[in-house]
Amino acid sequence: MLKSLIPAAAALLALVPGVSRAADEAKPAVPRFNVAYMDRTADPRVDFARYAFGHWRADNPIPADKSRWGAFNELDLYNQTALKGILEAAAKSPHEPGSVEQKVGDFYAAAMNTKAIDAAGLTPLQPDLAAIDAMKTPADLARVLAHLHATGAGGGFAVYVAPDEKNSTMNALQAYQGGMSLPSRDYYFDEKYEKIRTAFLAHVTKMFELAGAQPDAAAAQAKTVFELEKALATNARTPVDLRDPLANYNKMPTEKFIALVPAFPFETYFSELGLTGPAAGEIIVGQPDFYKGLQGVLTAHPLSDWKVYLRYKALRAAGPYLAAPFENEVFGFYSHVLRGTPAQEPRWQRVSRVTDSQIGEALGQLYVAQYYPPEAKARMDAMIRNIAAVMHDRLANLDWMTEPTRQKALAKFDKFTSKVGHPEKWRDYRTVDIKHDGYFANVRAATEFETKRQVAKLGKPVDRTEWDMTPPTVNAYFDPTANNINFPAGILQPPFFDFTLDDAVNYGGIGAVIGHEITHGFDDQGRHYDADGNLSEWWTPEDAAKFEARAQKVVDQFNSYEALPGQHVNGKLTLGENIADLGGLSIAYEAFQRSQVGKERKIIDGLTPEQRFFLSWAQVWRTNIRESEAARLLAIDPHSPGRFRAIGPLVNFQPFYDAFGIKEGDPMWRKPEDRAKIW
């Protein structure tokens, strides 16, 4: 899908990275806040994370089919079990052709028919492989790449349609770096990833062997794939560099872009995808140097190398939907090697995830109908209003911001909106041909539908009612070009949103999530977008310098955290999320305090309301994680590890010290002059 190629930072700013799906249990418990998770033998002044969830960590080893395990995963398990019931019910009986139930049921039934999938072997992918083998000219390469991009395989680079970040009401043609199989450019060069590179070569070799190549030929082909990808990576930007929205916005006439890569007939490529017409006369290029480098890769590597490379890209993309040997091999490298996960998830969970990713708003309709009570939205809307009111007051009274910038900040905030639960209008999948058999064909049909849907947006107004997450998702996000925050139904449950418990727990949970997403509008990336969601320099130089000085304290703080022996958190890479955590916690705390005016203070489980607020925040980030996954995320993830998110904002916040009697000299103490305060 073209949209799937959009870098996450360019599309949205989410609360957590991709959450791995949870273990196969029949009736998972509701994962609500629990004082039993605490280790009361620990001193909160010494190790607050252990105090807040030490018993949970000891009692919750990572399941064999997971790379990590935490509160998000526990809630995801709860949602996945609900989806399993929906999917199985839909698959059991016939439904009206074209109905949501028919699409969902047949997709699931076909995906669960492993006998038919295994019997088909590589046959479903043979037409694509034949087209790759038949390439003779650069025009053939352009047509094949267009087809692979349209069907989700990718390769070479990334082109998509998305809101123009300097004209956010309109959708524009965009180009981004791409084509690499490893997590980031450093994996191709840094000595510390040598074992990963060796494993990657072995994996690619095995994929070619499964596709019929002899071992020696497969090994040679794997080397070709790696060398071509390494050449692409040479001019790619790092994850930190990709976080700069201004540096990654370079609009130019499409003719000028095409001239960057004369060896590749982009005219043919665009025509094949339907990316033509007046709106295609300009293109926003994320990384021009990558495309200048692409010219060199094309001239240095003959068409025969590109055939080998694209065979692998096709095999890798299709692998999870083909016979077991292909699916197992893709898992073996991308999950076992890169993330340390010992075993695959049960089949039904893997299929549930694919269904959600391919026809998510069809499945989402059925999920919402059964599991999302209308009163949840009303309560959520009220909390958003309470927390937004605090942010408005902060902006109006901030002592370090001058009046010209303040007025523009308030104008931006006045246009800020929120979406809760699910889309008002559901996506129409009637033209997607989903059948009771043919898993790969169903995935292909859904992917091509989405590609056409995205391409059709070119040059048209942005529909800000659309969602970038499906209803069952356990996450939330801020969309900078739409200037809105979004909370899928899936996260509006314990431990985040639990109205069986006291206000302190809810403000420390979903309240801080709301504050986190609001703050994203004013983090180191979000602050560059104005009231209309356009990239612009609306800050005075003086205020921008003040912001950066305050943000540097956050960078320095998180740079000091050692996540693995000799490996520290990257404070620049994680700055946006850390600022959002810092602001979100502080804003939610003030909103909580306002909500308690005139109410009786209650001690619950021996804890004050303030203590329960901070414990609720910390327990949201309880996590056990495998070393391989921790190392991978440190390299590419804009989110800090869970245990540092649990304590990072707290040690900047005086009410936390007051709540637990933390004094100078205690290990949890942070000098006042070192504490970060932005919003």
Active-site residue, 517 included: yes
- Closest by CA position to 239, among listed 569, 649, 676, 648: 569
* H or E element, residue 233: helix 215-234
What is d(CA 512, CA 591) in angstroms, rounded to the nearest whole number? 10
The Cα 432–Cα 395 span in angstroms is 47
Strand 282-285 and strand 13-14: pairing? unpaired
**b/e per residue, 403-437, with b = 16+ CB within 10 A?**
eebbebbeebbeebebbbbbbeeebebeebbbeee
For residue 368, the one-letter residue type is: V
The answer to whether 537 and 625 are in contact (CB under 8 A) is no
Lookup result for tokens 């996945």: 80
Catalytic choice (74, 479, 517, 523) = 517
What is the C-alpha separation between 162 and 165, in angstroms, rounded?
9
For the chain, give the number of residues.
679
Q: For 162-182, give one letter per residue: b (16+ CB within 10 A) or e.
A: bbbbbbbeebbbbbbbbbbbb
Residue 55 has φ and ψ, to the nearest 5°, of -70, -40
How far is residue 224's CA from residue 222's CA, in Å, rounded to a whole number?
5
Backbone angles phi, psi at 142, to 5 degrees: -60, -45
Beta bridge partners of 420: 487
Half-sphere exposure of 55 (CA within 13 A, CB side): 10
Phi, psi values for residue 563, rounded to 5° = -80, -35
User: Which residues does residue 529 pair with via DSSP β-bridges, in sequence order?
Assistant: 535
Q: Of residues 74, 101, 581, 590, which has the active-site annotation?
A: 581
State whether residue 4 is helix, strand or coil: helix
The encoded tokens of residue 83 equal: 């989806």
Residue reference for tokens 């609001």? 518
Looking at the annotation, which residues are catalytic? 517, 581
